[in-house]
Structures are given as structure tokens and as C-alpha cells.
Amino acid sequence: MVWEKEKIVGSCLIGGATFAVGASFLHLFLKGELPLGLGLGLGLISPWKCFRKRKPVRVYMDGCFDMMHYGHCNALRQARALGDELVVGVVSDEEIIANKGPPVTPLHERMTMVKAVKWVDEVIPDAPYAITEEFMKKLFDEYQIDYIIHGDDPCVLPDGTDAYALAKKAGRYKQIKRTEGVSSTDIVGRMLLCVRERSNSQSHSSLQRQFSHGHNSPRFEDGASSAGTRVSHFLPTSRRIVQFSNGKGPGPDARIVYIDGAFDLFHAGHVEILRRARELGDFLLVGIHNDLTVSGKRGAQHPIMNLHERSLSVLACRYVDEVIIGAPWEVSKDTITTFNISWVVHGTVAESDDFQKEEDNPYAVPKSMGIFKVLDSPLDISTSTIIKRIVANHEAYQKRNLKKEASEKKYYEQKSFVTGD
């Protein structure tokens, strides 16, 4: 009996000593004072192996991101899902001109757009159009990239070679699914449909009035083209909206800021005013007017992008927390109460001056409540700015679209199902 008691006491002492030593080792390790090789002779596992974190998987995707749209954003979302950190290369203006034709939006605007996408962690400016040996080594060594990502649509250089051949050969290439129904070529094509048969006597202002009806334009069969583009067949799904949504509502004491608009041809001007609006509160709610409202206020040729296309572009912006799809033109007391809105804001750069009118002002209610603010727009860019750029240089863009026609047609003829997205 005595022997058994001594055995129990001895076991407790040894167990207590072991715990104390283990706790001391842990304390020294956390302080950074534990010698690297200590314990190896005792057969203990190195503490570095126990506490070492897994290296994050870094993926790289590049692109022109000209007239950035929800298709670009969905590609970046898919790329981000293949790793822990997404690095995006934005191709320089010079490289785009050499390989595709003139870009509609210059590099600094395209950089603003890409940085604002909520799935992007880091951006590299002036990226090359093709992945060269030198640039690929820089990606692997300097940026610690594990995989290079691209869509299932072909990216062919002027000499006919694959722009991602080297990445594929290195075994560091991964493919994602192309987003159906939209491309920069398609968006330009929607507008060019209305000017392809223009006469030389027409002025720029006349061309602007003729611009595309977007989704209301006459349809062509799959594979057919006009001005070198395939007309969009965008099919919105509830799953896509969920994928783009943050899925979180405002906190109980959140200051909710509301801003509304068409947000057609989502551009850097939109991004910057949304950033300014978000800085005023804790939660940014964006109202997006429906197609009928936009057409009624701005003319039958608008909007160029339909309601669901515009909604996805806005949802992808990191400064936006929630959107109202098909928001009313007038901001009512009921809307303010329903969403517990603290501030209603509007930018100084806009397509109309309705927010400044004495009568029939859509912001009359928030103005009377003292919760309406006009924010200085950081960039003097509007949807009309983008349209004017294309009108002024429409022949070059028409030529660019014709050049793209063959590869677009070939893609759709050879298209097969790709899992994921």
C-alpha cells in the first residue's frame, strides 16, 4: 500500500515537472529566446516546425482591363479563389496598342479600377502583354507567385503563339472559366453598331445621339457579328449575385450612407466617388436605377449596360457594402426609414443637374431632413466621357473589333464546358 502511494506521488511529481518544462519551453519560444537546436539531442521536435505557418499561395493574373466590366471582376474572383493572395498585372498602354489597338481608358484609370476590385490584394503596373522568361522569373522570385492564371479563352500574340506558353511549360499555369455574355470588345461593339454605316457628313454630336441601345439593340445569331463583335447574351443568375455580394448587413449603430445613379459603363469616376461616399460612414448602400428609368431620363440609347450588368460591376467594388437593384428615382422618406440611412450623397460630376434643381428634385426629402450632401468628385469622368472617346476615335475601335472577330468566333465554335466559376 505504501509502495503504491509512493508510486502515485512520484508519477504526479514527474508529470508536474514535465508540464513545467513544457510551459517554460513554450514561454521561451514565444519570447524568441529558445535556441534553435535545443532539444534535438533529446529527440524533441523543433518548436519552429510546431508553430511555423503555412506559406500563403500567391496567384497572378494579368490583363488589359480596358473598360472594366463584371466579366473582368468575375475572372479576378475566380483567380482569388485558387489562392490566398491575388496579384494583378495591368498591361501598359503601349503594349495594348501594339497587340490589340488603342485602349479606351488610359493606364492610370485602369489601375484605379483594378485596385478597387474587392478580390485584388496587389497590383503591378505596366505588365507585359505576353509572359516572357524574364518577367516570369520576376514573378516567381520577386513577387513569390505560385501560379499564373488565365481564362479558357485563347490569348494569342500577333505572331500566332500562345501568350501563356512559358507558364504552361513551367507547370505553373491554372485555368478559370470565362464569363459569358460580355467583353470589352462587345461593349465597344454595342456602341459601334449604331455608327458602322455613318456618312462622312455626320458630326460627333450626331454620332453620340445614334449610340447603341445596348441590350435593346437588334439581335444577331450566335457567331454573327457587326463591327466585329458578338452581341451580348448575358444571362443573370441568382448564384452570380450571391458570389459578388458581401452577404453582411450593417451593424446596429452603423452610419449608413446612400448614393444612387445609373452607373453605366462603370468607370474610374464612379469608383472614386464611391470611395469618397464610403468614407462618410460605416456602410455604403448604392441604389442602381432600372433600365426604364435611365432611358426615360437620358434617352432611348441609354443605358448601354443593362440593370444586372451594372449591378454586378458596382457589387464588385470594395467600397460598396450593398446595392438596391432597381432603386427608385426619388429618395423617399420611406426609403430613408427602411434602410436607416444617415446620409444621402451625390457627386459634383454627373450626367444631369437634377440634384441642383429647385423643383422636381429627386433629393427633396433628404434635403428637407438636412441629411443631403454634395461631394466633390475626385475625377472629372462620366459615362459621356467614355462615349465621347469612342466616338472621336471610332474608326480605330471599329478596326480593333474587326481584328478581334476571328478569335471570338473561333472560341465560340470550339467552346466546351469548363467546370468551376
Give residue 202's pLDDT band: very low, low, confident or very high (50, 70, 90): very low
Closest CA to 194 of 209, 208, 210: 210
Give residue 282's pLDDT band: very low, low, confident or very high (50, 70, 90): very high
Write out the three cell numbers for 91: 498591361
Task: State what percent of residues in the chain have pLDDT above 90.
Answer: 52
How far, CA to CA in Å, does 209 sit from each of 27, 194, 213, 217, 298?
74, 9, 11, 14, 11
Dist. CA 285–CA 341, nearest whole Å = 9
Query: What is the three-class DSSP state of 148?
Result: strand
At 313-322, the pLDDT tens digits run 999 999 999 9
End-to-end CA distance of the chain: 70
Q: Average pLDDT in the 142-166 region?
A: 87
User: Is the sign of the CA dihedral 313, 314, 320, 324 positive or negative?
Assistant: negative
pLDDT at site 73: 96
How far, CA to CA in Å, does 365 sit from each of 103, 361, 373?
42, 9, 12
pLDDT at site 179: 79
Dist. CA 233–CA 309, nearest whole Å = 11
216 has a pLDDT exceeding 60: no
Give residue 418's pLDDT band: very low, low, confident or very high (50, 70, 90): low
Q: Average pLDDT in the 175-189 region?
A: 79
Do the beta carbons of residue 232 and residue 182 sit within 8 Å?
yes
pLDDT at site 338: 97
| Cβ neighbours of residue 121 closer than 8 Å, sequence gap 6 or more | 80, 85, 86, 87
pLDDT at site 83: 97
Give residue 76's pLDDT band: very low, low, confident or very high (50, 70, 90): very high
Listed in order, strand segments (DSSP E) in 350-389 are: 372-375
Do the beta carbons of residue 234 and residue 241 sit within 8 Å?
no
Give residue 34's pLDDT band: very low, low, confident or very high (50, 70, 90): very low
In three state form, how does the secondary structure of 201-252 look? CCCHHHHHHCCCCHHHCCCCCCCCCECCECCCCCCCCHHHHHHHCCCCCCCC
26 by Cβ neighbours in 10 Å (0-12 / 13-18 / 19+) ranks as: middle
7 has a pLDDT exceeding 70: no
121 by Cβ neighbours in 10 Å (0-12 / 13-18 / 19+) ranks as: middle
Of the listed ranges 153-162, 252-261, 342-351, 407-416, the least confidently predicted one is 407-416
Q: What are phi and psi of 286, to 5 degrees?
A: -115, 125
Q: What pTM did the predictor assign?
A: 0.77
Neighbours of 243 (CB within 10 A): 17
Write out the three cell numbers for 213: 441601345
Dist. CA 271–CA 107, nearest whole Å = 15
pLDDT at site 14: 45
Closest CA to 259 of 286, 282, 290, 281: 286
Write out the three cell numbers for 82: 485558387
176 has a pLDDT exceeding 70: yes
Dist. CA 386–CA 302, nearest whole Å = 13
Give residue 252's pLDDT band: very low, low, confident or very high (50, 70, 90): very high
